[in-house]
Every structure is written in structure tokens, then in C-alpha cells.
A and B are shown apart, each in its own frame.
Chain A
Amino acid sequence: MTEATANTIRINKPRQAIGEGPRTRFALIAIALVFLALMLIAPLVVVFFEAFSRGLGVYIDALAMPDTMSALQLTLLVAAIAVPANLVFGVAASWAIAKFDFKGKSFLLTLIDLPFAVSPVVSGLVFVLLFGANSVLGPWLADMGIQVLFAVPGIVIATIFITFPFVARELIPLMQQQGSSEEEAAVSLGAGGWRTFFLVTLPNVKWGLLYGVLLCNARAMGEFGAVSVVSGHIRGQTNTLPLHIEILYNDNKAAAAFAVASLLAMLALVTLAVKTMLEARFAGSLAAQRRH
């Protein structure tokens, strides 16, 4: 259908008839450019500008601080657990949902979306209610000598909750779009389930998968609200990079706060660059619908 349309346009060439005049065109482009420059680009520029405002020495000192290094390690650790966990879930969920028909499927989809709709602060609160001293689990965990709240496990679990839908949401529409005829052919030729998945399904969805992982990772490393509620803010121990930024900022160490923020901003830029590259190369195999 799209091809047919393109042909018609090429034949009839009524471009002027359905386009805007040059002035409107220019005005719209200008509005879009100015709006995005002010709303999106300016904050990004400010991060780097402020990070270096006190000179390279302060910048390097801020990054070399033991608290920064431990925050970086914690952030990487949290992402290293949360992203694979949600990756396994995303693949399993999209296989079940895209390759099979069953009752209650759209309800299940809504449930998977739930963490998107929950405020990060509420997500954190939920785990305080679950693991706090006056919860059911809290005293039991304390007797076992297991620290969840105000320790790494709590931060990991809250992050998993927040980034829960990212991979699944990217994969499900993509795998639905591709149907299951190829897999059925593979199975009827005698391939096992795992073999079919790795040799047939995975190559078809790998770019979408990578995209989902990328977004999941960006959010896992950048989550603030939920992690803030469960962290306990122990310097050098339970502060992730975003929490460390808050502490520096409130300690009147703005340049140091922005120096650490520039690390996360670079992560964001890399994420966007890889994403743009993926889209340019593999436009067809990425899901058209994007929701986060």
C-alpha cells in the first residue's frame, strides 16, 4: 500500500498541492528547532558547561573521589543484575504472548505495563512496606541476618521493578508483527524449542532486543525516585550515581555534582547514538511503536 502511494505521488507530482508554503515550512521548522534547543539541548549543554566551570582539576577530583567511584560501581552492579533479569523476563513474556493465543492476553499486557504507570516514589514505598521493620517480611529477614532495605538488594529490586517492562515492551510488538510461521516451519522440520529460538527467532528480533536492553540500561543506571526511597543514603555504600549527584548538589558542591552528572549524560548520549545507528540500519526490524 505504501509503495502504491509512493508511485502515485511520483507519477502525478502534486507535491505543492499537498505541502505547505515555504514560509509556513520555515516557520514550523524554526519552531521545532527552537523548542528542542531550549527544552532539550540547553539542559544537556549546561551539564557539561557547569561540570568544567571550575576547571579540569575540580572535574577530575570529583570523578576520582572515593564516594564517586563507589557510586559508579554500585550503579554498574545494579544495572548488571537488573538488566539481565528483565531481559530473561522480556524474552519469556514475548515468546508466550506473541507466539501463542490464550485468554486474558491483553490483561497480561496491561499488567506488564503497570510499572510504567506507577510513580517511582510509590514503587520505592511499596518495597519499604514489604521489607521494613514493621512489615511481615522485615523481622524475619532481620533474624536471618539479611539486609534488604537500605542495602544493595533493596536498590536492585526497586530498579528491577522500575525497568520491568522495557525489554518486554520492545519485543512483544516486534514478535507479534513477525508472526510464528518461521518457527513453526523449524519445529516441523524437527528443531527443538531452544534451537528454534536461537537460530530462527533471535536473529529476527536481535536489534529490537538490543534497543530494549539499551533503554532498560539507561533507566536502570539513572533511576532516582524509587532508589532514593529504599537507599538509606549511606555514602560510599548505598548511593548510586544519581543519589550521589543529589548529595553533592545539596552539599553546595555544584561543580562536582555536574561533573558526576556529565558521566550519566555521556551514557545518555551513547545510548542515543547507538539507538540512532540501529534505527538507520535496521529500521524495518525495529518496532514501530515506542512507549516508555
Chain B
Amino acid sequence: MRGGFIVLAAALALGACGGAASNEVTLLNVSYDPTRELYEEFNAAFTASYKTPDGKTVKISMSHGGSGKQARTVIDGIDAQVVTLALQNDIDVIARESGKIPADWRTKLPDNSSPYTSTIVFMVRKGNPKAILDWSDLARPGVSVVTPNPKTSGGARWNYLAAWGYAARQFGGDEAKIREFVASIYRNVAKLDSGARGATTTFTNQGTGDVLITWENEAYYTLTELEQGAFELIYPSLSIKAEPPVAVVPGNARKDGQLQAAEDYLRYLYAPEGQRIVAKHFYRPIDPSAADPADIARFREIEMLSIDDPVFGGWDQAQPKHFDAGGLFDQIYQPAR
């Protein structure tokens, strides 16, 4: 009779102790969707050179997915010591709802804890058959748009806000017109994936949509890694400066050495080698001096709004107004039929 319960107890115990070797500190970095390749290389570089003060090596595990969804798994209890998400609000929510991150986490690292930035661009099919050059082309009837789900993805929220910012300038702050413009873009959306990488796959592999709204880094990744010449990158006239932040989760750094290793890990992102790897994977580094000039030359200087621009009012205003349940996005979005 007891057999099954013993088995269950054993399984629970196994999960509790994790089974890490004692001369190794393990960290889990819960990240957003397009950073897969970045952290693969960055983790290898960090773990190769780093030892904790008492001489232990570090092993880093990754989990990737839409930023909002990942924040939820941290709140739901995933054992992450480090979060590297797509936008500030997702870490704020973890801090607020779980208490595992201090409220002043942004002050712990330079540049508001964002070691790299990016912006939002368009990907179109070879030859740009629908002549998509700017946000207004996305609102045209008959254009099929792919962008992820703002409820689960961080990139998707940057995409939405970039469109909003463009419309705000076009219509001089007339909110009814801005709403209608953004709504007409989302009427054209064929599919909302849960993360940026999923949206890329939908656009590239499954052939859905005329245009993909995505991260600049994800667009360059697609151009270089996938089928050469099948897609083109379009910079809109106005975009948004996306600042993906990073933070240690002290509430989950219970084991010896985890807190120190997690802090050193994130600081390494700001080190010359970290910044070089960041630029290599198409993220805009804070300090371009160590990066390969060829990597830096890619980034086009375009006009970018900031989330702190009055049109958005920072994440504290933008998140509830646009993305929380019953917010503007919920009012606007009706899936295309």
C-alpha cells in the first residue's frame, strides 16, 4: 500500500535537493524568447573564465519564452536566480507579486539595469511585394501582419507601443484616431504567438503573413541564420528604444554562493567581453568600444521614442492603460477571421 507514496515522496525529495555537485554553483536564468543564441555564447564565455570566491565553478541553465509568460513562471515558483526579460514592467511585477526581488532592483546595476538595448523593425518577404515601408502600411486592408501576443511577450508590447507612438505623432495626440489606427493594424494580425521566436517561425517557416513586427536583433538573426535573401529588413520612420533589463532574484538565491555568482554573472554582461558578445548577437551594446566595428555598423540611427516619453508615461502608466485585463489592447484586439 505504501509503495506509491514512497515513490511520490522520493520524487518530491529529488526536486527539493536538486542534486547539484558541491563544487559547482548552479544558476537558472529565466529569459525572454530571442535571447537563445546570445546567452548560449555568453554563458559559455562566463563559465569558462569565472570561479566563485571560494573556487567553485558555475553552471547556468536557461529557460526561454515570451517575457510576460516567463515572469509568470517566476511568480508561480520556478527556481530562477537570474531574470533577463524584455521590459522593466515584467521584473516589477515579479518584485511586487512574489517579493523575491527588491523594489529598487533597477538601481543595482548601471544604465537602469539594461546592459543592452534594441528597437522594433519590420521583416518583409523578398522584394517587399506589399511595399511596406512604414507603420501606416501595416494598417492598410489586405496586409497580413505577424506580431506576438502582448499578454505573454515583451517584444509584442514594444511593437504595440511603437505603433502607438507613431500614430500619436501622426494624429497630434487625438486618442480616438490613435486607437483606430492601432486597432486597424491589429485587425490585420493573422496570429499572436506567445513569444518573438514563435512569431519568427510562423512568418519564416510556415509562410504566414506579409510583414513581421519584431526586435531588430531578431530580424538580423533571421537574415543571417536562415535562408539567405528570402527576407528583407525595413526600418520604420519612427520606432521605440527597447531596454531589456536584467536582475538577480535574491529570494531564490538560497544556496551557498548563488547570490554572489548571480551578481557577478550579470555584471559580466557590462564587461568588455560581455558587450562584445551582445553586439555580435545584434543587440545594441551600452559601450560599443569593445565590440567588432562591423557589428556596430549594422545598427541604423533612426528616431526612437522612449518609454518615459509623455505619450507613454513610463511602464507604470503604460502597462495598466494598454495591457492589463480590460485595457486598451483588450478593447482593440479582435482576431482576424
A→B interface (CB under 8 Å)? 81, 84-85, 88-89, 128, 131-133, 138, 141-142, 144-154, 156-157, 232-237, 250-252
CB <8 Å contact, B7 and A133 = no
The answer to whether A236 touches B61 (Cβ under 8 A) is yes
CB-based contact B12/A132 at 8 Å = no
State how many angstroms separate the Cβ of A226 from the closest Cβ of chain B. Answer: 15
Find residues 7-29 in chain B having any chain A CB closer than 8 Å to their own CB: 7-8, 10-12, 14-16, 28
Residues of B near A150 (CB, < 8 A) are 73, 76-79
The answer on a CB contact under 8 Å between B10 and A81 is yes
Q: Would A132 and B8 count as touching, CB distance under 8 A?
A: no
Evaluate contact between B14 and A88: CB separation under 8 angstroms. no
Residue of A nearest to B197 (CB): A250
Q: A288 to B197, alpha carbons, bound, how many Å?
A: 48
Task: Report the Cα distance A131→B205, complex, angstroms.
Answer: 36
Contacts of B64 in A (CB 8 A): 233, 235
Apart from A157-B8, A233-B65, A234-B62, list 20 A-B contacts with CB within 8 A.
A85-B4, A85-B7, A133-B75, A133-B77, A133-B98, A141-B77, A146-B15, A147-B15, A149-B77, A152-B14, A153-B12, A154-B15, A232-B73, A232-B78, A233-B63, A234-B28, A235-B63, A237-B28, A250-B198, A251-B197
29 contacts between A and B (CB under 8 A): A81-B7, A81-B10, A84-B7, A88-B3, A88-B4, A89-B4, A133-B76, A133-B77, A138-B77, A145-B16, A145-B254, A147-B16, A147-B77, A149-B76, A149-B77, A150-B73, A153-B8, A153-B11, A153-B12, A153-B15, A234-B63, A234-B78, A235-B64, A236-B61, A236-B62, A237-B28, A251-B197, A252-B201, A252-B226
B261-295 interface with A by 8 A CB criterion:
none
B253 to chain A, nearest CB (A): 13
Q: Is the CB of A234 within 8 A of B61?
A: yes
**Docked complex Cα distance between A89 and B7 (Å):** 12
Task: With a 10 A CB-CB cut-off, give which of B15, B76, B201, B225 has the most chain A CB atoms.
Answer: B15
Q: For A133, list chain B residues within 8 Å (CB).
A: 75-77, 98
B106 CB-CB contact with A under 8 Å: no
Q: Which residue of B lies closest to A151 (CB)?
A: B15
Contacts of B65 in A (CB 8 A): 233
A235-B7 contact given A142-B77, A153-B12, A252-B225, CB 8 Å threshold: no
- B189 → A minimal CB distance (Å): 20
Cβ contacts under 8 Å, B4 to chain A = 85, 88-89
**A100 CB to nearest B CB, Å:** 17
The B interface, classified by DSSP as helix, strand, loop or mixed, is helix
A208 to B7, CA, bound (A): 24
Count: A-B pairs, CB below 8 Å: 87
Residues from chain A with a CB closer than 8 A to the CB of B179 are none
A251 to nearest B CB, angstroms? 6
B36 contacts partner chain A, Cβ-Cβ < 8 Å: yes
Smallest distance from the beta carbon of B18 to chain A beta carbons, Å? 8
Which of B3, B12, B198: most chain A CB closer than 10 A?
Answer: B12
Q: Footprint of A on B, CB under 8 Å? A: 3-4, 7-8, 10-12, 14-16, 28, 36, 61-65, 73, 75-79, 98, 197-198, 201, 205, 225-226, 254
Bound state CA distance, A193 and B197, in angstroms? Answer: 59
Distance, CA A142 to CA B73, complexed state (A): 14
List chain B residues, Cβ under 8 A from A131: 77
Which residues of B have CB within 8 Å of A151? 15, 79
Chain A residues near B198: list those with CB within 8 A: 250
A-chain residues with CB within 8 Å of residue B76 when the two chains form the complex: 128, 132-133, 138, 149-150
- Closest Cβ of chain B to A129, distance in Å, is 11
| Bound complex: CA A246 to CA B81 (Å) | 25
Q: Provided the pairs A85-B7, A132-B76, A250-B201 are in contact, do residues A146 and B16 lie with their beta carbons within 8 angstroms?
A: yes
Closest to B97 in A: A133
Contact partners of A157 in chain B: CB under 8 A: 8, 11
Point out the residues of chain A lying under 8 angstroms from B254, CB to CB.
Answer: 145
Instruction: Give the Cβ gap from A43 to chain B, nearest Cβ, in Å.
Output: 18
B87 → chain A, closest Cβ, in Å? 20
Give the CA-CA distance A256 to B195 in the complex, in Å.
22
Closest Cβ of chain B to A147, distance in Å, is 5
B73 near A148 with CB under 8 A, answer no
Return the chain A residue nearest B9 by Cβ.
Answer: A153
CA distance A132 to B78 in the complex (A): 10
Chain A residues with CB below 8 A from B225, complex form: 252
Q: Measured between alpha carbons, how far is A154 from B12 in the docked complex, in Å?
A: 9
Question: A84's closest neighbor in chain B, by CB?
Answer: B7
